[in-house]
Structure 1
Amino acid sequence: MSARGGNEQGSRWRWMRGLRARLALSISVILVVALATAFIATYRGTGTEVRNQIDEDLRTDAIAFDQSLPVLDVRPRALAQKAETYLQDQTSFGATTRLYIVRIRGGGTVSNLPELNPAEGNPGVERDIAGPRRESDEARALRTAHIGFSTVRVNDEPLRLYFIAVERGGRPVAEIGVGEWAAAVGRAQSGVARTFVFAGTVTLVAAIVLGFAFASRLSRPLRRMASTAAEVTAGDLSQRISSTGPRDEVRVLADAFDRMLDRLENAFERQRGFVADASHELRTPLTVIRGQLEVLARQTAVTPADVRHVDEVVRTEVLRMERLVDDLLLLARADEGELVRPHSLDLAPFVTELFDALTLTADRAFELGELPQGRLLADEDRVAQVLRNLARNAVEHTGPGGLVRLTVRVLDRTQVEFAIEDDGPGIPPEQRDRVFDRFHRTDSARARRTGGAGLGLAIARAIVEAHGGTIAAGSSPEGGARVAFTLPGFRAASKRAGKEPARS
């Protein structure tokens, strides 16, 4: 077989294994099972209904025949004569007529089937049908059928028989049998079978065609989704499904897929930006170090002062790189969910001690609001790191004597809010959501040496969210910046403990 032929056969088998073919096949199988079940039920039900109707007609005729026989004169000859008179009004047994048999006790058999009557020329009922001639097996079966319903085959056709006992004066004197061909049952069932075969074939073909069309329409978004996924795998993250069909499960899946791609593209963009910013932040101190070393190497007469100057610059840039690497490692730990180890801490002494340390870091007008009394379930070191980062930002954006205020308040019984406010230039409203992004700076004109790497607020958000809290930026009453974050896990102390007074 050629490669082309093998590929064509493989494509054909792949098509057969596709979703559309499998859905159409599944619908067809279900329909076949349903039609087969309905056919069996209808086929058997039709046979039973026709058979019951035949049995009811036989029972009615047998009772009518019984009522035509004499009541008082029950001699065999009288019964035979009355039976022959009744049968004279009936047609001889044939393909479309019924069979009548009267078996008289001690008197023989009378029937509209000549083979069951006594020999011709001897009308007496004392002689049995067997007489001087041989009786056929079919005639013997008819003559000896039991009381009630039975089925006897005559000329290879089923004959339905019904025999009742005729009693006069409390004793049986005869037995009346009425028979009818049961071929009507077979004809009715054959008609049902032909109808089902024709209607089932048409329905099955229509179901396959409509099922394939329905499966094609149903799987169209899935095929588009697979094509989009292949393009995304190839590196094109801008592709979207953009399904416009009804709001069904497939539409929900397509919309969820698009949202996932939005987040994935955004994550890749942020990752690329993060890598670019981190590379730039690391390249800057390396460039400074390299430049200082090159200058030192070009000098012919190096003095101790030159060496000390280069040493100070190199040490400063190395420390900057160490802080940057530490910050990046901290954010990596936050992404892995291993950033905080909460434990219960006494809130007021913790904030007071931290505030006292902050007042020694810069020449600013530090203020501390009233402190609620209670305990907070949090990582003490990480919460202190957040407050220091926020306070450092406030100091950097205010001049000497500028306001830096720390407030703590209880929002409800279980949440506490920390806020750092200043009277500096504030944060523009359009950047208040972005200030917590990694390497973001509100003032792009500031040098990296004075503005830092832009990771402080990103670290603060990571720590707060690791505690299950939220952080947001706004404006202070003095027009400066206000950065506040809330933490859960607060439990208030008893009312007798009171509040920690404000300090400045």
Structure 2
Amino acid sequence: MSLRLKITLWVTAGLMLILFFSFTFVYYMFIRVTTNGEIELLKEKAHTLLQKDLPNHPEYWNNNNQMDEFLIPQEMLRYITPDTKVLYQIYSDENLLRYRPSYVNKETITTETARDGIFIFVKVPVFQQGHQVAVLEIGRSLRKLGEHANILISILSLTSAGALILAVTGGYLYTNVIFHPLHQLISTMQNIEKSGSFRRISMSKTKTQDELFMLGDTFNRMIDRLEETFMKQEQFLADASHELRTPLTIIESYASLLRRWAFSDAALREEALEAIQSESAQLKLLTQNLLSLTHAVREECEQSVSFDLLPFIQKTASSLRLTSGRHIEVHTPPELKELHMTGNPNKLKQLLIILVDNALKYSKQDVTIQVNDEANQVRLTVVDHGIGIAEKDLPHLFDRFYRADKARNRKLGGAGLGLAIAHNIVMKQKGTITLQSSLGEGTKAVVTLPKTCQ
């Protein structure tokens, strides 16, 4: 069963349930209000008759002309003694006589329902000198009410049938309109599955901005993201293949050279081994960077620890000074003695090494690390005074394998992955990273990190 048919049936069933309870309430209120009105009339008539002092005037019952003015069609008057015998009675509907008389001590109202109609009885005590001596009973047949009730039932039944037909027809047609975008979505997804190409749903801007429009718009935006990701993935695979092919080609070439000539030539053998070792190291670094970028496990806040950032930066800068043989300065405000934050120290160390290593590669002068405390954030700035970066290259520097000068970066041992890894680390730490640079004027890498990982 299709979803469209299910919705139509459920809506129809709900509507019929509402109509059933509504019509039942209408029918009940119609019967109750009408019956209560007739009961009030009978009570007034009973009290009027009691004012005629019926116990002391039996002639009222013997002479029907005396009571005819109070007796209407489909009605009965009975005078009942304490032994439940009917002393006097007059009637205009014999059906009322089939209900046995009863003696009561207080005003009583009885309603009886039968196939031929509804019957109501009002019984009031008759007192003489302060003592009850009889019961006056007035009964009335509400046959007309039953006929009217049957007409009402017929009207409500026809209304329900008409509403059912309209609900089924209208619901089915309306669901066609509602499900049209869903059919478009299904058709588009099936075409994508068959063709393997990215397609989008045609959206009219004049349509109401409802949930179905939002569904289609969200689907189109999702396809945009998937297509962009797919293109980046293809580019990543192509770039990674290219970067891996270069050192592998060099290693293969020198290995062949060793196999053919280097066993008898010591200088050539040394050159080949040095090249193979150098390219193997480059290949190992490239592989490590690729693994770092494609690592499936996210290092979220639960892996963070609290630590003092200042000695951490000083220690990292000292290690880089030792390994690079270059001068690296750490600048902090004089009043800043401690700077506690939460984060992943290992990842922050990797971030700092990447930024400082880039600064050392493209600058012959000193490199500066500036640390600032800004309310709930920490700002780290790595400054060099080297060759700088062209403005057109700045937006792409965080892309994988992007290099402003591929020949120069290859010579320096870069693969274009460092800044991509740095960007990934900063994003996981819920921070931001920007590069400010101009050709010939050096580069600033500005990183802001929250003190508390949220």
Q: Smaller-chain TM-score range?
A: 0.7 to 0.9
Q: Which runs of 5+ in 2 are unaligned?
A: none
Distance (Å, rounded) in 1 between the aligned partners of 2:162 and 2:101? 49
Distance (Å, rounded) in 1 between the aligned partners of 2:279 and 2:192? 41
Please tell me whether the aligned partners of residues 330 and 339 of structure 1 are also in contact (alpha carbons under 8 angstroms): no
Deviations 1:424-475 (A, max 9, x none): 3423344323211211112245463336211111122223333333211113
Matches for 1:259-274 after TM superposition, within 5 Å: 259-274=221-236
| 2:368 pairs with 1:405 | yes
2:338 aligned residue: 374
| Structure 1 stretch displaced more, 261-270 or 296-305 | 296-305
- CA shift, 1:33, in A, is 0.9
Distance (Å, rounded) in 1 between the aligned partners of 2:262 and 2:114? 135
- CA shift, 1:325, in A, is 0.9
1:429/1:18 CA distance change after superposition, 3 Å: farther
| 2:282 pairs with 1:320 | yes
Deviations 1:230-252 (A, max 9, x none): 34444645223355543333344
Please tell me whether the aligned partners of residues 80 and 104 of structure 1 are also in contact (alpha carbons under 8 angstroms): no
| Structure 1 stretch displaced more, 149-158 or 469-478 | 149-158
2:66 aligned residue: 86
Please tell me whether the aligned partners of residues 388 and 441 of structure 2 are also in contact (alpha carbons under 8 angstroms): yes
1:483 aligned residue: 445
Matches for 1:26-425 after TM superposition, within 5 Å: 26-68=10-52, 74=56, 76=58, 78-81=59-62, 83-89=63-69, 96-102=73-79, 108-112=87-91, 141=98, 144-146=101-103, 148-150=108-110, 159-171=119-131, 175-234=135-194, 236=196, 238-241=198-201, 243=203, 244=205, 245-297=207-259, 299=261, 302-333=264-295, 335-338=296-299, 342-359=304-321, 367-370=329-332, 372-376=336-340, 377-398=342-363, 400=364, 402-412=365-375, 414-425=376-387
Percent identity, aligned pairs only? 28
Please tell me whether the aligned partners of residues 103 and 176 of structure 1 are also in contact (alpha carbons under 8 angstroms): yes
Structure 2 counterpart SS, 1:246: coil
- CA shift, 1:199, in A, is 1.1
Distance (Å, rounded) in 2 between the aligned partners of 1:415 and 1:288? 47
Please tell me whether the aligned partners of residues 355 and 368 of structure 1 are also in contact (alpha carbons under 8 angstroms): yes
Structure 1 counterpart SS, 2:441: coil
Please tell me whether the aligned partners of residues 96 and 119 of structure 2 are also in contact (alpha carbons under 8 angstroms): no
Please tell me whether the aligned partners of residues 87 and 112 of structure 1 are also in contact (alpha carbons under 8 angstroms): no
Distance (Å, rounded) in 1 between the aligned partners of 2:124 and 2:316? 113
Distance (Å, rounded) in 1 between the aligned partners of 2:114 and 2:373? 102
1:152/1:351 CA distance change after superposition, 3 Å: closer
Greater CA radius of gyration, 1 or 2? 1
1:428/1:217 CA distance change after superposition, 3 Å: farther
- CA shift, 1:31, in A, is 0.9
Distance (Å, rounded) in 1 between the aligned partners of 2:286 and 2:353? 17
Distance (Å, rounded) in 1 between the aligned partners of 2:169 and 2:242? 62
- CA shift, 1:479, in A, is 3.1
Distance (Å, rounded) in 1 between the aligned partners of 2:156 and 2:259? 101
- CA shift, 1:101, in A, is 4.0
Please tell me whether the aligned partners of residues 80 and 134 of structure 2 are also in contact (alpha carbons under 8 angstroms): yes
Q: How many residues align?
A: 441
Distance (Å, rounded) in 1 between the aligned partners of 2:378 and 2:80? 108
2:429 aligned residue: 467
Matches for 1:8-27 after TM superposition, within 5 Å: 17-27=1-11
Structure 2 counterpart SS, 1:408: strand
Distance (Å, rounded) in 2 between the aligned partners of 1:478 and 1:327? 29
- CA shift, 1:80, in A, is 3.7
Structure 2 counterpart SS, 1:417: strand
Deviations 1:190-236 (A, max 9, x none): 12211111111111221222222332333333333333333444464
Structure 2 counterpart SS, 1:459: helix
Structure 2 counterpart of 1:189, one-letter code: A
Structure 2 counterpart SS, 1:188: helix
